[in-house]
């Protein structure tokens, strides 16, 4: 239930840079089973469970971890929300099932290696490489809990609701008074009073109040010590034995903290990511794949955003956000072209460089070398301006390449859109 459910509510705390800007990769996303293992290390109550990547592992897990369980929860593991209501391309309905223990192995076999399509994966879906086998909990109440980062208070913000297990956006729309927000002073940390306010907002029916306060404090400790950008639990549930349990959780981590969170970042599952973005990260390029037909290579995030906007203004659709930065090498430019041309949907490429720190001649040399290594089958529109622009234009002219040159951004976007429909 939890994957991606913060939506509109979180967007009020985390500003969005624009319509075409997807959330730029500054947060590692890990699987549910990995999040449960991490929370368990901090003393947070989680369901007993284990991940399995093959039918044989499923069989051993059932034998060693759940020898006496009558029912098992089998959860497909992909980095996307809506798994429960998803559909496998094989025809199997639902990525989360509660089944009899003797049926778990055959069900897992139908999930592993298959493509699961949900509202968040897009029609291409994501492959299920692991399933998470969990004990079936007897839940008496479901609530919502999240910690995110709030620009207004310049610190962590705890969001809680006494109802959970369903979309928090829907709850916020129907019952706005049920949503509570508790800002935390980043210098003081969470206090007993802060945690008590959260527990009062959750309004647990049977769970011990003091134990609940301690669980909230442990969740905050995990958020800070692990450099989280988001910790979302939906549902945060009460069990029949009067405990608060993180029944399903989503955790994101700040990529800037990778140097001190090596153990966490070792959990990264690149098979769940856009291969273009993985390649871009290796080349130290800022790339986000979109679904348009005009590939963009620009220096500077602001200029990249403006370039995508003006492409849209002229009736086109950008295929990506790609900022080569101010100090890109020829090699990085070559890699950028390889990434752009690997997208079958790209019908034209627009190179828009305003040379300041980034020099136009370096970009030009990169374009020429890229053309030698990559079979360019689509038209390339180039607009260069700034440092060493004359040298850059000369390099392109002497290369013999068939390029479409543009004098300014408006001219470049118009030519790129026209080239993409020929």
Q: Which residues are catalytic?
A: 144, 232
Q: Annotated binding residue at 4?
A: no
State the DSSP code for 122: -
Q: Annotated binding residue at 142?
A: yes
| Sole residue written with tokens 């929370």 | 39
Cβ(35)–Cβ(19) under 8 Å?
Answer: no
Q: Annotated binding residue at 358?
A: yes
Q: Annotated binding residue at 357?
A: yes
Cβ(306)–Cβ(112) under 8 Å?
Answer: no
Nearest residue to 386 via CA among 352, 351, 350, 354: 354
Q: Annotated binding residue at 40?
A: no
Q: Annotated binding residue at 155?
A: no
Q: What is the four-CA torsion angle of 375, 377, 378, 380, rounded to 10 degrees?
A: 40
Nearest residue to 413 via CA among 303, 327, 337: 303
Q: Annotated binding residue at 82?
A: yes
Name 72's bridge partners. Answer: 99, 135
Cα 205 from chain centre: 34
**Dihedral pair phi/psi, residue 74, rounded to 5°:** -110, 115
Cβ(96)–Cβ(75) under 8 Å?
Answer: yes
**Dihedral pair phi/psi, residue 201, rounded to 5°:** -70, -35
Could you count the other beta carbons within 10 Å of the beta carbon of residue 295? 28
CB-facing half-sphere around the CA of 248: CA atoms within 13 A: 28
Burial of 86 by CB count in 10 Å (0-12 exposed, 13-18 middle, 19+ buried)? buried
Q: Annotated binding residue at 209?
A: no
Cβ(163)–Cβ(143) under 8 Å?
Answer: yes
Q: Annotated binding residue at 29?
A: no
Q: Annotated binding residue at 248?
A: yes
- Measured between alpha carbons, how far is residue 96 from residues 79, 189, 404 in Å? 14, 36, 51
Tokens at 61, concatenated: 């897990």
Look at the chain and count its residues: 422
Q: Annotated binding residue at 75?
A: yes
Could you count the other beta carbons within 10 Å of the beta carbon of residue 204? 21
Cβ(300)–Cβ(355) under 8 Å?
Answer: no
Name 380's bridge partners. Answer: 349
Tokens at 118, concatenated: 């949900």
Cβ(327)–Cβ(358) under 8 Å?
Answer: yes
CB-facing half-sphere around the CA of 24: CA atoms within 13 A: 20
Annotated binding site for substrate: 299, 356-358
Annotated binding site: 75, 82-84, 142, 234, 248, 299, 356-358
Annotated binding site for ATP: 75, 82-84, 142
Annotated binding site for Mg(2+): 234, 248
């Amino acid at each position: 239930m939890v994957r991606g459910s913060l939506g509109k509510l979180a967007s009020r705390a985390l500003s969005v840079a624009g319509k075409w800007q997807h959330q730029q990769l500054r947060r590692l996303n890990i699987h549910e089973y990995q999040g449960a293992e991490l929370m368990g290390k901090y003393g947070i109550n989680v369901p007993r469970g284990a991940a399995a990547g093959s039918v044989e592992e499923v069989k051993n897990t059932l034998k060693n971890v759940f020898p006496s369980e009558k029912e098992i929860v089998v959860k497909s593991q992909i980095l996307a929300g809506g798994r429960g209501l998803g559909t496998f391309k094989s025809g199997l309905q639902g990525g989360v099932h509660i089944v009899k223990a003797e049926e778990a192995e055959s069900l897992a076999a139908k999930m592993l290696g298959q493509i699961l399509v949900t509202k968040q994966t897009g029609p291409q879906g994501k492959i299920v490489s692991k399933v998470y086998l969990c004990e079936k909990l007897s839940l008496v109440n479901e609530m919502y809990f999240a910690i995110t980062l709030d620009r207004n208070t310049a610190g962590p913000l705890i969001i809680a609701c006494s109802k959970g297990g369903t979309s928090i956006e829907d709850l916020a729309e129907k019952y706005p008074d049920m949503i509570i927000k508790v800002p935390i002073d980043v210098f003081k940390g969470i206090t007993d009073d802060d945690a008590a306010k959260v527990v009062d907002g959750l309004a647990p029916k049977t769970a011990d109040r003091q134990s609940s306060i301690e669980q909230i404090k442990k969740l905050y400790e995990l958020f800070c010590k692990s450099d989280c950008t988001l910790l979302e639990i939906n549902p945060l549930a009460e069990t029949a034995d009067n405990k608060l349990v993180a029944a399903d959780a989503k955790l994101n981590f700040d990529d800037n903290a990778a140097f001190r969170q090596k153990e966490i970042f070792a959990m990264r599952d690149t098979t769940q990511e856009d291969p273009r973005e993985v390649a871009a990260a290796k080349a130290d390029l800022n790339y986000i794949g979109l679904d348009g037909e005009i590939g963009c290579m620009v220096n500077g995030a602001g200029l990249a955003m403006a370039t995508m906007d003006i492409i849209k203004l002229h009736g086109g659709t950008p295929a990506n956000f790609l900022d080569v930065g101010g100090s890109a090498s020829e090699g990085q430019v070559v890699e950028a072209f390889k990434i752009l041309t690997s997208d079958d949907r790209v019908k034209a490429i627009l190179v828009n460089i305003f040379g300041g720190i980034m020099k136009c001649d370096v970009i030009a040399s990169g374009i020429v070398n890229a053309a030698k290594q990559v079979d360019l089958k689509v038209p390339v529109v180039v607009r260069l301006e700034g440092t060493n622009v004359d040298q850059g234009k000369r390099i392109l002219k002497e290369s013999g390449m068939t390029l479409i040159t543009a004098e300014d951004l408006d001219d470049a976007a118009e030519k790129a859109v026209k080239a993409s429909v020929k």
